[in-house]
Structure 1
Amino acid sequence: MTYNNLEISTEDKIGLITINRPKALNALNKETIEELSNAFGELESNEDIRVIILTGSGEKAFVAGADIKEFKDFDGKQGQQLAQVGQTILFNKIENLKKPVIAAVNGYALGGGLELAMSCHFRIASDNALLGLPEVTLGLIPGYGGTQRLPKLIGKGRAMQAIMTAEMFKAEKAEQIGLVNEVVALEELLPRAKKIASKIAFNSPVAISKAIEVINLSDSDKGFEAEINAFGELFDAEDFKEGTTAFLDKRKPNF
């Protein structure tokens, strides 16, 4: 499939999606959101791909936010539809994808950009990253899941303060509060993300898919039951047989 706003590459079981709108600091517009949805669907269905990395082109921005020009004249109904469609076709889709998604956050990750990064399964940031949800400065609140995902990552109190003040976090602070997993130099960002992705790609894709599913239920009352059921189901999978056999044979498993 041809994309106007994305670059897609694959190598060694890793898919790389690069948002490529450098003149707009990779801001999310309707077309880009739709293309991202299609790209994630394409890579999820590709059996050769085990892990997906998402990043932005250039050194300045992962995604600097939503494209405000597209919705500045919207009414309430249109605004609600904007949030609902975006969450459904992209942000929730990434969070529940069967394959792990790593956000490689380079530069600005603001508004919808931070919401996009938070929908990924975890985040690695460059040392020049700046993350925040400044929607209240526009008279809005985050609409792509930011009010729900940020408290889970940094705690309710910190999320309240960050959203109400439109506070922006430098990379070091973001790591301290758990918004990103680690911080590396800009030139090391993609190599580090690929190194982590390679470690994941070595492991059982069936088990990893189940882990994503169950971890996403960890803040609900269904989490423990889901873990028990998933644990049992995996005993019937071929990967379990291969993994245990390889362990006993003292060799690397071939998943």
Structure 2
Amino acid sequence: MTTTRTNGSLYTHSENHIATVEFGHPASNSFPSELLERLTNAINTLSNDPSIHVIILKSEGEKAFCAGASFDELVAITNLEEGKKFFSGFANVINSMRKCKQPILGRIQGKTVGGGVGLASACDYCMATEAASIKLSELTIGIGPFVIEPAVSRKIGLAAFEALAWDASQWKNAYWAKEKGVFTRVFETITELDKEVQLFAEKLASYNPQAIQAMKEVNWKGTDHWDKLLTERAEVSGELVLSKFTKDALEKFKK
């Protein structure tokens, strides 16, 4: 069942020390500002809950995992402040994920674009189906994957990031994403994916929470400057989204 709400939906369910956070939006699980804010708040709340040992991040439906930024909101941006605020939404989510005390498992069932690739890269461990191709399409509409770059490059290295970012119209398949390190395991079906995600989450939830938290801190060492960096990147994107090139490209896309 997928949501029909224009501002999207977000549900959190907790059981046996495992929290599942599921987001949805009728436009291929894309993100308007309100949904980005709700996801950030949900992760921050779970991070401070000692009864939660692991978090699963997933999206609704069986098709796209995430289409990135909401095109309706991108089109509606009229000034730099609005632009910076919108892209800061992705910055805030990524920063909440890296600071989160628990490991976040990504469950990626389908195609993933732009900010969705950033979310997958900010997960601590990601599993996907064969249908989970990825693309950084930002240059095609006159902006760039600036806010998510640190998260993607940290996960797959600069060379693989460049292969994605420059070749902005091309999909890379799930096995390419696995080879580069976005995904750790790839399955044929969503049924297999869900089974393995649950089994893995249960394993992680059974480990010493102190060791898990220490492991998370070690893995994200050297990213403390991201609060400032990602906000600066949001400003770059916020400025570019006002360009004539981008306005024209977004209008064409909408039509």
Q: TM-score range by the shorter chain?
A: 0.7 to 0.9
Structure 2's unaligned 5+ residue stretches are 1-6, 225-255
Which residue, out of 172, 183, 186, partners 1:169? 172
Residue deviations 1:124-165 (CA, integer Å, cap 9, x gap): 1112111121100110111432x2122222221221121011
Does structure 2 retain, via aligned residues, the 8 Å contact 1:127–1:186?
no
Alignment of 1:18-29 (within 5 A): 18-21=22-25, 23-29=26-32
- Read off the aligned partner of 2:155 and give its amino acid letter: L
* Cα-to-partner distance string for 1:81-125 (whole Å, 9 max, x where unaligned): 32234313x111111200110110110211111111111112111
Q: Which residue of 2 aligns with 1:128?
A: 131
Structure of greater Rg: 1
| Counterpart residue number, 2:162 | 160
CA RMSD in angstroms comes to: 2.0
My pick for the range that moved more, 53-62 or 152-161, is 152-161
Contact 1:61–1:109 (CA under 8 A) maintained in structure 2: yes
Find out whether 1:39 has 2:16 as its counterpart.
no
Between the aligned partners of 2:223 and 2:18, the Cα distance in structure 1 is 29
1:178 is matched with which residue? 181
Instruction: Indicate the residue corresponding to 1:227 in structure 2.
Output: none
Q: What residue number does 1:237 align with?
A: none
Aligned pairs, number:
215
1:4-153 pair list within 5 angstroms: 5-21=9-25, 23-74=26-77, 75-88=79-92, 90-145=93-148, 147-153=149-155
Where relative contact order (Cα < 8 A, 6+ residues apart) is larger, the structure is 2
- The one-letter code of the counterpart of 1:139 is G
Determine if contact 1:62/1:113 at 8 Å carries over to the other structure. Answer: yes
Whole-Å Cα distance in 1 between the matches of residues 11 and 223 of structure 2? 34
TM-score (ref. length: structure 1): 0.78
- Identity percentage over the alignment? 28
The Cα of 1:169 is off from its aligned counterpart by: 1.5
What stretches of structure 1 of length at least 5 have no aligned partner?
A: 221-255
Whole-angstrom CA distance in 1 between matches of 2:69 and 2:96: 18
Which position in structure 2 is the counterpart of 1:187? 191
Corresponding residue SS for 2:201 = helix
- TM-score normalised over the length of structure 2: 0.78
